[in-house]
Amino acid sequence: MLINLFYEHLNQQVFTQSPSYTLINLMSDTAGQLGFWIGLSFVGFLEICLVSVLILCVLLAASDAFDCHQVHNKIDLLNSSFTDYGDRSESCPAGDTTCVTLNGTYNNQNLLIKGCWTDFVSLNISAYIMGFTACSSSKQPFSHPNSKPPYNVDVYCCTKDNCNLSTILVANLLLIIVSVAVQIVNAC
């Protein structure tokens, strides 16, 4: 008796098992996530340090001496021997607790002078602006359109540290506030 066996199909199937997520993949993903989060943490840490230093600088800028912002912009219009310079903080001499801001036009050109009262006295500003001999906490207008040279200026005096605010200081404070707000938004 003879038996013939035939395969219905000559195909062979081999089943193997292999992990879909290997140890190498796990290590790569873990290192990538750690790098991402530690990197973000480091950048955030640096931003917090920067903001802290900026705030500390602003707070430490207030010293025991009475300070005013000092600006001479086009002061040579009054006297050619006077020198212009940009915004800077100035410690007033002992006993001087008044900051002055003079802003307007002199001889049809913009004029800005900021500083301590003693600066205005030493520069003899009253010789150039008729009637300006004393300070008031309210804005004082001085206008002489028919004088030679014509002028129209406002003078404001204040008696607090750095009360004749600088536009630079306002911009720096605005940047600090924006930076802190960004930090708060990033933290949420």
pLDDT per residue of the chain (188 residues) written in tens, 0 to 9: 788 877 777 888 888 888 889 999 999 999 989 888 887 777 778 888 888 888 877 666 554 557 787 888 888 887 788 888 777 777 888 777 788 888 888 888 888 888 888 888 888 887 777 777 777 777 788 877 666 777 888 888 887 766 766 555 555 666 777 777 777 777 76
From CA 92, how far away is CA 90, in angstroms rounded? 6
From CA 69, how far away is CA 114, in angstroms rounded? 6
6 CB-near residues (< 8 Å, 6+ apart): none
Tell how many helices (H) and how many strands (E) occur in the chain.
3, 6
Supply the pLDDT for residue 24.
92
Supply the pLDDT for residue 30.
92
Please state the domain extents for the chain.
67-167
Peptide bond into 149 cis (omega under 30): yes
Predicted TM-score of the model (pTM) = 0.51
Task: Indicate the CATH number of 67-167 among 3.40.50.150, 2.10.60.10, 3.20.20.300, 3.30.300.20.
Answer: 2.10.60.10
From CA 60, how far away is CA 56, in angstroms rounded? 6
If we measure between CA atoms, which residue out of 177, 167, 166 comes closest to residue 51? 177
147 CB-near residues (< 8 Å, 6+ apart): 130
**What is the pairing mode between strands 99-106 and 109-116?**
antiparallel
Supply the pLDDT for residue 97.
79
